[in-house]
Every structure is written in structure tokens, then in C-alpha cells.
Structure 1
Amino acid sequence: MIPLQLSLKNFLSYREATLDFRGLHTACVCGPNGSGKSSLLEAIAWSLWGQSRASSEDDIIHLGAKEAQVDFTFQSHQQIYRVIRTRSRGQASSLEFQVAIAGLNAGSVTPTFRPLTERGMRATQQLILDHLKLDYETFVNSAYLRQGRADEFMLKRPSERKQILADLLKLDQYDELAEQSKDLSRQAKGQIDLLERSLESIQEQLQQREAIAQEQAVLETDLVAMQATQTANQEQLQQLQAMQHQRRTWEQQLTWQQQQQRSLNQDYRRLQQDLASAQHQEQELAALLGQEEAIAAGYAQFQSLQVQEEEQSAKFQAHQSAQTQRQRLQQQQAQQIGEIKDQLRHLEAQLEALRQQEQDVQHTLNKAAEVETAMERLQQARARLTELDQLQTQVAPLLQRQHQLQSQIERAQDRLTARLEELRTTVRQLQAQQARQPKLQQAALEVAEQIEHLEKRQVYQQRVREKGLERRSFLERLQVHQRDYEAQLAELENKVQLLQQPNAACPLCDRPLDKHHWQLVQQKNEAEHQEIIDQLWVVREQLAVSDREIHVLRQEYRDLDRELAGHKGLLERRGQLQEQLQVSLEMQEKLQQVLAEQEKLQQALSTGYYATELQEELTALEQSLQQLNYDDRNHALAKGEAERWRWAEIKQAEIKQAQRRQANLAARQPELEAQIAAIQQQLEQQQTDSPLQQSINALDQAIAEIDYNLDHHNALRTQVRQAQAWQFRYQSLCQAQQQYPQVQQRIAELSELLEVRSQHLQQATTQLEQLIQQLEQMADPAEQIRSLEQQIQQQQAQLNGQLARLGRLQQQQQHLETLQVQAEAQQQQLQTARRQYRVYHELSQAFGKNGIQALMIENVLPQLEAETNQILARLSANQLHVQFVTQRAGRGKGTKASSRLIDTLDILIADIRGTRPYETYSGGEAFRVNFAIRLALAKLLAQRSGTALQMLIVDEGFGTQDSEGCDRLIAAINAIASDFSCILTVTHMPHFKEAFQARIEVHKTESGSQLHLSL
């Protein structure tokens, strides 16, 4: 990806800005902290992937704005693309993806774009990833070198470096697959164990099938006999139960008759009680009716008192209403009088304020003469200040240019000084390398002698191997002979066994043998048997000798293999030494060139002969400034003088304002006095002759006419309460007049009903005696029934037990048949589970750390090592070399080396003095190694994503580097500049940014961050 143009609108700290990357190869993004440098990188990431450092989507919108937009144009895979991402506050984002129609030629003019936007944002985002072939994680780990990540890989322990590399290569997906495979493997293992235990249990149960069938036949015979006995007992029980049923029917009738008799007795007694109660009520009502005249007189007096009390209540309501209305009118009158008094106080306060303002205005007018004199001095000071301002306008551009020229001259001097220091460092390094050349030659001779010795041993090892193969081939032939002899012996033994049988036949012609021929055949077989045994013993002895020789040759081959284990390392060491010797010869010529350039720079710095055009222009500017004779101090004094007399201008305006206020006050005072007199007259009228006062007087007269007396009203209320008892007695008298005929009628009805109940009671007694006589004549069969039922229950229990046992046996038979089918199915499941267990177990190992992941890391490391050494050769002038070691020998007990190899990721760094640990290298050398490895990792990640690494952003925390460290970083960036189309460095350090000709300067203003491109 190569950036072409970036346009921002209301994004983070930017209001509106446009940055054109065309023509920028190596540039520095510089500015103070918080100015918005990182926001440019955030804008690129947000436009392409929708990722930013903001916690929410709306946080990327500039404060006070409603919408943010980023328009990013870039080149990728020989094509120009454009991405426009927009975010509205509180709403969803929008995304547009376009491609230039004119191809690469569109970079010279405004290109025409064709839309590629899909229907949804997710589909459009995926289309961008497909064309870019770079996701966000790969971008921040490859094209973007963040602060503090350069030496992260080196400072980790060797056992942790593989994990970091696996994280960068996104191998965690294989860990997930390995865990899934392990889970499935454990599930399959658990299923296997469960199926095996289930099959064992099923086989044990299936062995009981024959015994269960025999037991079932015996049970069926016993059940037939028990069921016949049970049927006979049931018939006898039914006869006895019929007799018992008839007896219980008579008993139930007897019980019902007894209950009927008790009910009739209770009803007869209740009727007697009701008759007595009705007769008593008749007597009470007759006595109440005898007091009718006295009750009527008392009730009439109660009604008269009640009418008088109602009249007094009406007068009370009218009196209360008039009093309430009078109080309301008095409140309204008091409120109006209060409002008039408030107006009077307000007008009096205004009149007093006018008099006080008149005094203040007069005091201001008394200073008019003094202010006039000061105004003349102010005009003189301003005339002098105007002259100096015009002179400053002429001098300011000259001073600004003078400052620029001085800064440029100082930067030129700093660049020469930095270059001189770099050359001195290079001279010291080259001289140190030249001093190590004899040691390198001696080391190269020693390594060559060791390699020659090992090559001879390698030829001898090949001979041992050929001899071992020859003995192995001879051993295999002997084993074939041994098997042949053993087969012949078996055949002879078979023939001998056939001859031992009666009437044995000839093994050749198949005819019966007589005794003489039988002996001849037997002797021949014995001789042939002895001959084969002798040959077999010879072969076995040769096999033992050959096996011992092969064992000796194997041990000698292993010893030679261990001795030759360092041959590859020696070859690499010889190559390194030869390369270092070649570099040493090249460094000798470079040393002469560096010394010449160093002498030239020293002379230029000592004589000041550099940036001559800038120095000449600076001298001419200084002469022009002397002619203008401008002094900042005089200008400052003139400004102070004009500011000192500026109070006169303010006082003059105050005097004019005071004159206008005096005229207004003189016109306002008579008007206020007239208003105060009118308010006082209105207050007196309100208190004596107003409509409210007249209404209050009318209400006082109405209250007097009502003539309400509270004591007389309370006395009437007491008399009404005392006479209220006659009302209750009158109501009782009315009720008695209504109830007396009804009570007489009820007495007659109760007398008749009592006679009927007496007749029914005699009938019930007669029926009861008949039922008792019938029950005494029939015997109770309950004891026989209980005995027979217990016998039937015992037989039924036995029968149920036998039936349950038979059911269990039948259920067991069905269960065994089901188990047979289940065993066959589980056997197939067991085979499937075992196959799945083997597959998932192998997959878990293949996806694990020592499987595909280790293989991928092993395949990546050579590429990473080659890329690192290629970059490091440029940064160190072929003085440093890096090697990645993935395995090393373990340690046994004590200090003895173990034959077991340990997985690791050691990083060996070699220079012309040999291989040393990383910690022993200087800061500059360590930084070059860190930078080379980090950059190689970036290129590797970009290549694995399917794209080329054309853009590089370096943000390595330059503030932690000293001047020499910054110079080394600048040299490193310049050394790799040819590998990239665009390199951006981000810093706030002035010394670092001056080293780049192209600078993107960022500064923050009140209207947002601003960009300025300097080429």
C-alpha cells in the first residue's frame, strides 16, 4: 500500500486538512506533543479498517461538530483506490470504496473513480480487505513500528520468543484446533471406556438366559394349581357375603329407624319450646299496647322541639356566611391599602436616587479642565507610536529572515558535526576491524584444518556404512537359508511320523513297504536329517558372528556421527570468517575514503566555510537593520506612554455622558414629585369612602338583623337529645301493633303440628321393634368371612408373588433380547469411537506446539534469518551476522551434556571478533540488530498476508535516544529507504526532524490542528 492523498474533516483534533503524499519518499511528521501527529495515522487506520484509539465511534468526531469524514486515496497492486468513511454523531457510519478508471496514470491528474461499494458496510469492508490483502493486526505489526517494540523480541527469554513469533504469525488458531481435537479425543476416549464397560455388563447378563428359561417353566406349572384353588374359595366367599349383605341391610334399616325416632323426639321437644316462647311474646306485646296514650304524647313533644332546633340551625348558617364575607372584604381592603403604600415608598426612593445621581454628575463635571490637558498629551504619544509602528513593519520581515538564516546556518553546522562524529565512529570501527584481521586469518586456518580432518572422517564413515550394508545383506541371506533348513526339517519329521504308522507306504511310489525296505527308507531319512542339522548349526553360528559385527559397525557409525555433528557449524564458521576477511579488505579502502572526508569536514568547521550563500545574505540583512536604526526598547516605551495617558480618553467620554445625565435628571424630578402627591391622596380616599368600606358597613347591619343566640341554640339541642327516647318507644309500639295478630296465629299452628309429631313417633317405635326381632333370628357370618378372606388373601399374595416373579422373568427375557441387539450396536459404536480417538489424538498432536506450529516456525525462521542478515548487512556494513537456533543439547546430572535435545529459540550474533551474547554489544550495535529483526518481521508478516510492504511508519520513541542514537536511527532509515515507496517517521525532537528534507509539520490552533508540508 502506497498513500497518495489524505483529506480530513472534523476528525479528532482536525477541523479540515488535506495531505498530499505524492513526491514524498522519506518524510518526518513533526510537531509538539498533543498537536495531532498520531491522528494522521489514526485517520488512515480508521478509513481502511474502521479501527481507532477512541473508546466509542462518536469520540472520533471533532468537539462541537456533528459529522466526521476521512477521504484516503492509495495505490495497491498496480491500481489506485479511494476509501471514504463518514460517521454522524449518534448514527451509523457509511463507507464508500472506489477504484480509479485510468489506472496508474491517474496519479498525475485528478483521476476518475468507479464505485466498488457493496450493499452493506460489512460486505464493503470485506471487499477492501480482499483488494488490500492486509488486515488491521498485520498492519500494526508490519507497516507500523510502534514505540517500545524494537527490542521486545530480543529481551524475551529463548523459551518465550517462539510464543511471540507464534502470536505474530497468528498461530493461535492452531491452538484452538488442538484444544478442539483434544476435547473430541477425550470425548471419544470417554465413550470408548463407557462402551467397553457397558459391553462387559451386557455379556455377563446374557449368560443368565438359559437359567431364566428353566425357572419360567416351573413357575407356569405352579401357577395353574394355585389359580384352581383360588377359584373354589372365591365361590364360597360369595355365598357368605350374600348372607352378610342381607343382615347389613336390616342393620342399616334399624339404624335409620333409630335415627328417625331420635329426630322425631327432638322435633317434638323443639315444637314444645317454640309454643312456650310464642305464648311469652304474646304477653309482652299485650303489656306494650296498654301504654299507647303516654307514648303518643311524649313523641309529639319530641317533634315540636326538633322543629325549633332546625330554625336555630338556619339562623346559624346565615350568621356564619355574613361573618365570612365581612372578613374577606376586610382582607381585600387591607391588600389594596398595602399596594398603594408600596407604590408611594417606591416613588420616594426614586426621588432620593435622582438627588444622589445629581450630586455624582456634578462631581464628574468639575474635572473637565484636567481631562482636556491630558487629552493633548495622549495625542502627542500616539503620533510617536504610529511612527515607530511603521518602522517596525519594515524591520519585522528582515528580523524573521535573519532568524531563519541563523537557524539554517546552525542546522548546516549541526549536520556537518553529526556527519563528522559519524565518520569518527566509523574510523574507530574500521581501525578496530583492521586490528582483528590477523586473528581472523589464524582462526580461518584453524577452521580449515578442522574441516579437512572431519572430511576425512566423513569418508571413513561412508566406508563403515557400506561395510555395514554389506554385512546386513549377508545376514539377510543367512536368515533365508535358516528358514529353508527349518522347513526341510519339518518335512522330514512329518515323513518319519508317517513311517511309524502300521502298513506304512513308500513316500515315492506309494506302495506298502516290507521290513527291509522300511529300514532302508528309515536310514536314509535319519542321514538326511543329520546333514540338515549340521548345516543349520553352521548358519546359526554365522548369524551370531554377523550380528556382532553389525552391532560393532553401528556403534562405530554413531561415534563418527557424533564426531561429525559440528561439521556444518564449522562450514558456516569458515564462510563467516571468509566473509569477514573479505569485508576487512573492503573496509581498508573505505577507511581511506572516510579519513579524507573527515579531514575535509574538520577544515570546513574550523574555517567556517560552509553555507556561504546563507552567510552572505545574513551579513547584508544585518547592514540593512543598522541603517533603519530600529530599537525595540524605544518602541516599548512609546507604547507605555500612550497607554499611560489613555485614561484621559475614557474620562472625556465620562464627562460627556455626565452632561447628558444632568439634563435628564432635571426633567425627571418634577414628574416624580407630582406622582407622590397623587398616591397620598388615593390612600386617604381608600381608608374612608371606598366601595369595599361601604360593603363592610352593609354586612354589619345584616348580622344585627339575623338576631342569632348561641346559648339558646345549645339549650334546644340538649332538650332534643333528652326527648329522643320517646321516638324509640313509639317505633316499638308501632311494631307491636303489627306483630300481635301474627303471634296469635303462630301459637295455633304450633299446637296443631305438635299433635301430628306425636302420631309419627308412635309409628317409628313399632317398626323399630320388628327389625330387632328379625336380626335376632339370623346368625352373623362375619367370622367365617374374615377367616376365608384371610385364606384367600394369603393365596392371592402367593399367587401375586409368583406372577410378579414370572413377569420379572419375562421382562428379563425381553431385556436380554434388547441387550443382544444393543451389544451389536455398541460393538459397532466402539469400533467407530476407537477410530475417531486415533484420528483426533493424532490431530491434537499435529495441531499442537510440536506439530504444525513448530513446523511453520521452522520454515519461517530461515526466511526471517536471511531477511534480517540482508538488512543488518546494510546497517552494519557487513560487520554483524544473526543466526537463529531452534534446538540445543540438554544438561544431564552435574555438568555432563545430555543426548536429549531441547526446543528453544536462541539468537546468536557474530561479528569479526566472533559470536557473543546480545547483552555484550554496544547500544548502537544492539539497536541495529533490534531494528533489523523488527523490520524483517514486518516484511515477513506482510508477505504472509499476500501483499508487499511498500509503506513504513516508524514511531520508536526517539525522545529516549541521545544525539548519537538519533544519528544511528537516521542512518538506519536512510539505509533501507530504497526498499520502500514511502517512509514516515513521527517525532517531536527538533534535532531529529532537521535531518529530513521533507517534513510534515503539525501545529495546533484554536480552530483545530493544521498541516504544513515542507519539501
Structure 2
Amino acid sequence: MIPVRLELKNFLAYRSPDALYFEGIHLACLVGENGAGKSSLLDAITWALWGRARAKRDDDLVHLGQGDMYVQLDFEQEGLMYRVVRQRKAGKRGVGTLDLFVVQQNGDLLTMNEPNMRQTQTKIDSILRLDYETFVNSAFLQQGKADAFTVKNPAERKRILGEILGLDAWRVYEDRVKRQLKTIRTELSNFDGRLQEIQAELAKEPQYLREKQQAEEAYAQAEQALNAAEVLLAEVADADSNLRNAESQRATHAHRKQTHENDLGTVKTQMTQRREAIAQYETIIATAEQIEAGYAALQEARDRESELGKKLSQLTDVNARYGNLEKQLRDAQAALENQQSELEGTIAVLKGQINGAYETELADVQAQIAEMEGFEKQREALSETISQLKQDDSGLKSMLKTLANEGKKLNERIDRLGTSDSDVCPLCGQPLDEVHREQVLDELTTDRDTMREQYKEANQRIQSIGDEVKDHDAQIQALGDKIAVLPRLRQQAGTLQAQATQAQDAQVRLTKSQAELDIVQKALAEGDYGHDLRIQLQQLDEERNTIGYDTDEYEAVSTQRAEFSSYEQQHLQLQVARSALPTEQTALDNLLARQEQLEKAIADEDADLKRLDEEIKALSVQVAVKNQRREEVLKQRALFNAASGKLGSANQQLAALEQLRARRATIEEQREQAEQQQALYKELEYAFGKNGVPTMIIEAAIPELETAANELLGRMTDGRMHLRLSTLTTNVDGSQRETLEIEIADELGTRPYEMYSGGEAFRINFAIRVALSKMLARRAGAHLRTLFIDEGFGTQDDQGRNKLVEAITAIQDDFDLVLVITHIDELRDAFPVHVIVEKTNSGSMISVR
């Protein structure tokens, strides 16, 4: 992993500095005054890649007074350019985002995000092939944590070395082998259980042979009994069908007899009806002379009534037209009277409108409206002022909260610095003399006093805003009471304006309406209307006199017609009787002949039914015998089937034994293969375990790590110190256990690492950490060809510093980028490139020289 470009926003000491480009930088130092943000740049890199930094919470990384932060890192990995963008929004419900891209050659971004941040982080770890803990224990010498690897216990040191060497893969292999071994053991257990089951089943073969012989004998006996029963059943096989045929014939004859009896009843009913009809017709024909005379008188009355009805129809039409004309004449008079009433009402209303006076009242109302609208504008201006004051109040309260938090942090830093008597700064871990301590205390105290003054001013302004808001609210309330009548005044002004306009129009309309009223009143008084209607009424009076309709004559004719009206029905009945009597007599003769035929057919059907009853009785006896013999056949067939089933089952059991023998041979072959696999996987389990290949890799890596560390340590101590790494140690009982002990040899002898302190301990730490970084750059697929060194020079004297710089210069070719952080000015010239961090009022800024 080689950093290419770093962009920050609101991250720790940085607001929005220019992006930092690493291209062309091989060996450089990062310089700047204390608190400028040198270490923050490396925090930005680790936070972008792993979401981890020195702060306990992400919100602590956000620049003071800001609500969010943003870090973008472009880096090269195995020939590809990647971009990681991590953002954070601070607060109680703070949220973060993480985006991963591949930067293509044309500059386009290819999104590599997973469904959530956790999975995207896993992908980044996979691309880098290392996690945060491995990084900070090897290639990143953090400020005050150069001994992060050496101070860990031996087991933890060995674990970290294993991660650097990529031994996690061997644990994965070991777990896979163990799971496969468990599966094989389960298979072997299943094979053994199945073989036991098969052997138990094969032991039953003599029993199955005896059962087969018994089944064959029972089968032969059952077959013989079944054949004999089937012969007896065949003798009466047709009894059922013969009985069904006889019963079907009897049902047919019974149906025919019933049909004949029904027909005979119908014939007798029809004969009675014919005799009654003949008697009625003969009675009507006997009164024929009287019926014909009455019918002639009825026809004469109808003719005279028809003539008078035509005249009545003409008279009715004339009367209807006369009544319609009278109605039209009345309607014409009513229309004139309605017009007269409407004109009188209109004139009264117009006079009322003309007599009203609205101009003076309208002017007074308009003056009141103008005054109220001025009050309304004053109230709106006060409301806007209150809104702005409340916004200022909210901003000041937020600032008070921020100042309180920052003041608390400043007090804590002042207390820590003031109470510490160490020569190392408790805030940044750098060497600290008394002059520097006082200088820093003065700066922190000045910052605190400034914050307190800001806090006091903000509080005073908040109180002032509260008083102003109360005063403005009172004024708004008073103005609101005054302008409450404004809607009513506007409505009243509209009404008065409309009334004034109407009064002007009313005078013109009054003159016109008075002229129309005079014309209508004259027409009503003189009857000067409906002239055509009056002429038509006179003509209808003359037409009515010429019709000559007599009401008395019409009533006498109607009475005569009513008296003889019954003869019309009697005349019709007479005609029907004369026509139908011969037909009825013929039909009666035919019915007598049909009665004789049906009585003979019924007698024949009774004879057939008697014969079939005797035949059905005999066949029923045969059917009972057949049922008994069928039951016997079913019984023998069931016995035969049972014997056949037992014989088949016996044969299947013996055939199954042969299949089991073949299955046993297959399982034994499979079991042998499983045992061979088990032996192979046991060997792999040992090879992949901690005593196998991983131990061999660590044993092979230890000399390389010792050589690289001793090369640097010898360079920094003029060959005075030499370290050795031991992977085994002897217990009290004489047994050995795995470990990773660090032993240091110098002119005083060999001692454990824990016996060294100060500058010597730092040189040992530095040598081991650089050796681990070089190993990480070449092994485990991590390809981390970058080394970060944050401070550490404060523990060295001038000669020690020079030796460290020489050592860093000597190892630079093993890395693509070496970045050293220092605040010691004398060391700047030892590095060809300077990355300078400077404090400004708008946050720290970065420049490269």
C-alpha cells in the first residue's frame, strides 16, 4: 500500500487544507510546532482505511465547532489505484459513510461498495491484506507507542508475528481439515453400524428357507380348494341375469297395465263431459226464436246511439276549444296584472335606493382602513425582528454549549500540565522543560480566558434578546387589538361603495319603469287586450248552435241498449250450439269404442303378470344359492392370495439377502477408502497445526527478523548491542513451551528486553519495528512498502539521533515511502523533503518543500 493523495476536511486541527500529494516523495520528514497536527495526518490515513485513530470516539476527531468531517485517501496497491472516502456527521445520532472506488486510467471511478459499511471494511482489509492492529504493531511507529510490539507478552508477540507472516491461512486450513476428519469419523461410524445390521439380517437365512417351504405347501392346497369352488359357482352363474330379466319384464307389464288404467279413467271422464255438453246445446237451441228477436232490438238501439254519439263528439270538441280560448283570455289579463305589480315593486325599490346617502359614510370608513393598514405593517415588521432575534438566541446557546465543552477540556489540560512534574509532556508525550511548560500553560490559560469572556458576552446578549422579544411581543399584542376591526371595515366599505353605484343607476331605471306602468294600467282599465281571442269565442258560439244535439233522446236510446245487451251473449251461444252439437255426438261414440278396447288390454296384462311372478319366485331361490357359492369362492381366493403373498415374501427375503451381501462388499470397500482418507487428514491436521508448517515458517522467519533488527541495532549502537529471539523456553519442571522472548546482549552481558529503558529501549524498539516492517513489506501478501515513524527522537542524545537518521537512511531503499515526524529543527536538514504543518486561524495548513 503506497499513499498517493490525502484530502481532509474538518479533521482534528484541519479545516479545509490543500490536498497532500505523496507522489515523488521517497524519504521525507513531517515538521511543525506542537499541536499543529503532524500526527493527525497519520491518524487521517488510519481512520480512512480502518476507521481507527488515537481518539476513543469518532466525534472527538471532528474539528472544534464543526458538525461533520471528511477524509479521502488515494493509494496504490498491486498496480491498481484505489480511493477510500470516509465521512462522519457528529451528534447524539451521528452517522458515518464509507465508499470504496477503483480509479481507472481515464480518471473515472468504479464503485466497489458492499451492501453495508462492515462488509465494505472487510473488502478494504482484503485488498490491503492486513488489519489495523498489524499495521500499528509493525509499519506505523505511533507517537509514544514505539514499544507496542516489545512490551506485549511473548504469546501476543508470537501472534502478531504470525499475522505478519500470514499464518492465519494455516489456521483456516487446520479448521477445514478438522471438519473433514469429523465428517470421515461419522461416515466410519455409519459404515460400522450398517455392516452390523447387514450381518444380523444374513444370520436369518435358515429361518427364511423354512418359511419358504411351508409357504409352497400352503399355496398348493389353497389353489386346489379355489378351483373346486369356482366349478360349483359356474353352475348357477346366470341366475342373477335371469332374475333381472324377469323382474324387468314384470315391471314393463305392470307399467303397461297402469297406463291402460289411467287411459280408461280419462276416457270415462271425457264421456261424462261430452254428455253434459250435448244437454246444454240442446237447451239453448230450444229458445232460438226469443234470442233472435231480442238480438234484433239491440242492433237497432246501437245504430241510433252511434248517430247521436257523433253529434256529441262534435259538441264536446267545440266546448273544449271554447274553454281553452277563455283560459287564454284570462291568462292575458293576469299577465298584465303581474306586470303592473312588478313595475310598482320596482319603482318602490328604486325610490328607496335614490333616497339613501352613502358618500360621507364611505369616506369615513376608508380613512379608518388606511390607519389600520399602517398598524398592520408595524406588526409584521416587529414579527420579523422577533424571528431574527430567536435565530440569534439559538446560535448563541449552541456557542455556549461548545464553549463550555472546550473550556472543560482546556481546564483538564491545564490541570494535567500544571500538576505533572515529569520531563515528558503529559499532553503530547514530547520532552518538556520548565520554560516550555510555562509557555504552554500561558497559551492554554489565555485561550481559556478568551473563551470565558466570549461565554460572558454571549450570556449577556441572550438576556438582552429575551427582553427585546418580550417588548416586541407586547407591542404586537397591542397592535393586534387595534387592527382586529380591519376585516369588518373593509367589508363595510365594499358594501357602501356598491350602494352608491346602485343609487346612480336607480334614477335612470325609475323613469323607464314609470312610463311602462302607465301603459299597463290603461290597457287593464279599457280591456284593450286579447282581441283575436274574443273574435274566436264568438265564432264558436255560432258553430255550437248548428250541431243540433238532443240530450234527452241520447239518454232514451242508451237505456234501450242497456235493456237488450244480454241478448248479444245469448245469440253467440246459440250459434256455437248449432255448430258443435253434431261433433260432440260423434266424439261420444268414439269414446265408447275406446273404453271397450282398454278393458280387454288390462285383462291381458293381468295374465302376464301372474305368469312372471311364478318365474321370479323360482329364480330368487337360484340367486340365493349363487350368493352362497360366491362367498365360498371369495373365501378360497383370500386364502390363496394369502398363501401366494407369503410365498412371494419368502422369495423376496431370500433375494434381499443376496443384495445385502453385495451391499456389504460395497460398504467394506467404502470403509477402507474412508480409513485411508482419515489417515491422510490426520497427517494434514498435524501439518497445518501450530507444531507443523506455521512453526516451520516462524522458525525460518526468526533468523531473517534477527538479522534485520541486529543490522539496525548495530548501526545505532556502533555494534555494542545484539538481540536474539527465542521461540522455546524451559519450564520449572524441565519441560519446554512455545514463546517469543527478546534477549539483548551488550558489554554488560545478556539481559531480557524488560531490563532496558530510555534511549536504549527506544533503539531496540526501533530496530525490531523496522525489521517487522521490512518483513511485512515482503511477506504475507500485504505489500505494505510504506514506513511511518512518529517522533521518538526526544529520548536520544545528539549522537543517538544521528545514528537513528543514519539507520533510517540505510533502510529507505526497502520501502517506497518513509515518512518521519519530528519537532526537532536540527533533524530537518537530514531529510531531502519536508512536509510542513502550520497553524492558522482557519485551521492547520500543509505544504511540501
TM-score, scaled relative to structure 2: 0.48
